């Protein structure tokens, strides 16, 4: 029985070896089913173990990558007298179709070769016109010649006539800042906080103590602080303010806000700011400062005045005249222009008044050989409608600045706004008709209600320096085409081959 059983078992095993498909087939089907069901789950679970599939790293374009070497130097070649001179007929053919008013009014204009002075275009260039802020070019010449590009204005604190009195004396710096002096800036180059600290130190050295009272001396300027030729509406709108020989932010409450109301007594406003700084600086040293400030005018002349020469306690100095001229031209600052004109007169021994300023401008132009016949100067900022100057006179002034014999005038070159980039031209020259002039045209703008002007210089496509002045009078107020006409004319000069 046992043997028989063993034999049966052996037969069963033998049967499985020789007929495997009979019992293995269901198992294979089961395994296949398991694989089919497990594959989707594996796709969901696998990222948790191996991470997301690799993502291709975007390649930074070559033009966005940091350079590995300096590029070749690019820019305008030095001016050469051998560069081809444009033909007047060709220049006229370019400009005449462009200088058309949008509505009423007329344009005059003049273009000269910067090196030789040869006239290349003349449309009524000798006619007197209202020039608006192009007047500031004439003031620039007067200031640089009378004062010198490196001259600085001093704001001083003097020992007052009575005990505890100090006198803040204006010396022509109307770009004072209320805080610490900022040597790297034009506006705020001299700061009242720095002046106050120096004053306290000087008083301590002299053994002073107790109460201080601030007086302000603005006697440097004479004549009415407001020019009667200025329209009341322009004064009310903040285009200008009463003139004094010291002011904060060019007589602005905030240097960032260039429109709207302005201080009507910038000397007292500056003195009040100084008194506040003096109080802050002097508190630790035992000084007190009375709140109110008063005006002070020195009296006496000759030997008596010399004998009573006040003691200078402290002083701060402005940015240079060249830097101030550049700021004036870039921003077309009327207040600063009028002050620079008065200071130019004072430097020449004349009165620091409006009449002195206009006389100083006329005299300095005469020294340069620029004819002033028929010219009428009602102010030196261009705000007055009574100014009468020709395009030819402006072109001659630009030529004197760029290539004339007086190197002091080169101090104004940085002040010319650059088309599409800086100053009053920063938002112009962006349209299709004028974009070729962007970065190439450098010019002073001028705008009044029915007046528009543009005077400056370009280097044309052949490397020739051209100076120009275009002035529109009697124009339709607000007509956009007038500004574009001048910008297109200047652009045409920059692209001119004109031969």
Q: Enumerate the active-site residues.
A: 133, 136, 332
Q: Who's near 289: CB < 8 A, 6+ residues apart?
A: 211, 212, 213, 214, 275, 278, 279, 282
- Measured between alpha carbons, how far is 331 from 187 in angstroms, rounded to an integer? 12
Report the interhelical angle of 192-205 vs 266-282 (nearest 10°): 50
What value, to the nearest 5°, has the Cα angle with vertex 331 and ends 363 and 465?
65
- Measured between alpha carbons, how far is 235 from 446 in angstroms, rounded to an integer? 17
Write out the two tokens for 490: 């200047």
Q: Is 313 helix (H, G, I), strand (E, B) or coil?
A: strand
- Measured between alpha carbons, how far is 336 from 213 in angstroms, rounded to an integer? 29
- Measured between alpha carbons, how far is 318 from 195 in angstroms, rounded to an integer? 12
Rg (CA), the chain: 39
- Torsion sign (Cα): 276, 165, 188, 456: positive
- Measured between alpha carbons, how far is 129 from 392 in angstroms, rounded to an integer? 11
Write out the two tokens for 425: 């031209």
Q: Which of 219, 224, 259 is nearest to 238 (CA)?
A: 259
DSSP-derived secondary structure letter, 131: -
Q: How far is CA 442 from the centre of its chain?
A: 13
Q: Which of 395, 228, 213 is nearest to 287 (CA)?
A: 213
Q: Who's near 272: CB < 8 A, 6+ residues apart?
A: 293
Q: Who's near 293: CB < 8 A, 6+ residues apart?
A: 213, 214, 215, 216, 268, 271, 272, 275
- Measured between alpha carbons, how far is 467 from 162 in angstroms, rounded to an integer? 57
Q: How far apart are the first and last CA of the chain?
A: 131
Query: How do strand 154-159 and strand 165-169 relate by DSSP bridges?
Result: antiparallel
Asked if residue 168 lies in contact with residue 312, where contact means CB atoms within 8 angstroms, the answer is no
């Amino acid at each position: 029985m046992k043997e028989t059983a063993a034999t049966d078992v052996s037969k069963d095993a033998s049967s499985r070896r020789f007929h495997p498909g009979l019992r293995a087939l269901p198992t294979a089907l089961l395994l296949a089913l398991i694989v089919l069901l497990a594959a989707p789950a594996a796709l969901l679970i696998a990222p948790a173990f191996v991470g997301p599939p690799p993502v291709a790293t975007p390649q930074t374009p070559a033009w966005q990558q940091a350079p590995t070497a300096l590029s070749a130097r690019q820019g305008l070649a030095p001016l050469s007298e051998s560069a081809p001179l444009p033909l007047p007929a060709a220049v006229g053919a370019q400009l005449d179709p462009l200088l058309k008013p949008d509505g009423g009014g007329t344009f005059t204009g003049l273009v000269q070769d910067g090196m030789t002075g040869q006239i290349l275009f003349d449309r009524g260039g000798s006619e007197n016109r209202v020039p608006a802020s192009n007047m500031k070019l004439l003031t620039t010449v007067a200031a640089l010649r009378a004062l010198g590009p490196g001259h600085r204005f001093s704001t001083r604190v003097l020992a007052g006539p009575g005990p505890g009195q100090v006198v803040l004396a204006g010396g022509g710096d109307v770009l004072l800042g209320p805080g610490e002096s900022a040597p790297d800036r034009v506006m705020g180059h001299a700061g009242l906080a720095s002046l106050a600290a120096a004053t306290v130190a000087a008083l301590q050295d002299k053994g002073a103590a107790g109460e201080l009272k601030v007086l302000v001396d603005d006697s440097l300027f004479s004549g009415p602080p407001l020019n009667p030729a200025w329209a009341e509406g322009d004064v009310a709108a903040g285009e200008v303010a009463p003139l004094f020989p010291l002011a904060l932010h060019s007589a602005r409450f905030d240097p960032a806000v260039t429109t709207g109301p302005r201080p009507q007594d910038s000397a007292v406003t500056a003195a009040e700011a100084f008194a506040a700084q003096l109080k802050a600086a002097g508190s630790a040293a035992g000084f007190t400062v009375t709140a109110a400030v008063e005006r002070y005018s020195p009296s006496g002349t000759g030997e008596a005045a010399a004998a009573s020469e006040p003691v200078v306690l402290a002083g701060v100095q402005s940015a240079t005249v060249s830097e101030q001229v550049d700021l004036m031209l870039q921003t077309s600052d009327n207040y600063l222009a009028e002050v620079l004109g008065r200071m130019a007169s004072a430097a020449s021994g004349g009165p620091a008044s409006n009449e002195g300023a206009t006389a100083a401008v006329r005299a300095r132009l005469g020294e340069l050989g620029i004819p002033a016949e028929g010219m009428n100067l009602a102010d030196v900022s261009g705000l007055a409608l009574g100014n009468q100057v020709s395009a030819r006179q402006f072109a001659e002034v630009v030529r004197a600045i760029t290539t004339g014999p007086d190197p002091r005038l080169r101090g104004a070159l940085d002040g010319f706004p650059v088309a599409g980039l800086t100053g009053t031209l920063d938002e112009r020259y962006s349209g299709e008709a004028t974009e070729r002039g962007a970065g190439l045209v450098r010019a002073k703008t001028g705008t009044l209600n029915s007046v528009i002007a543009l005077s400056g210089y370009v280097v044309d496509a052949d490397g020739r320096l051209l100076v120009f002045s275009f002035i529109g009078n009697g124009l339709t107020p607000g007509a956009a085409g007038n500004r574009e006409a001048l910008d297109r004319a200047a652009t045409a000069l920059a692209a001119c081959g004109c031969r």
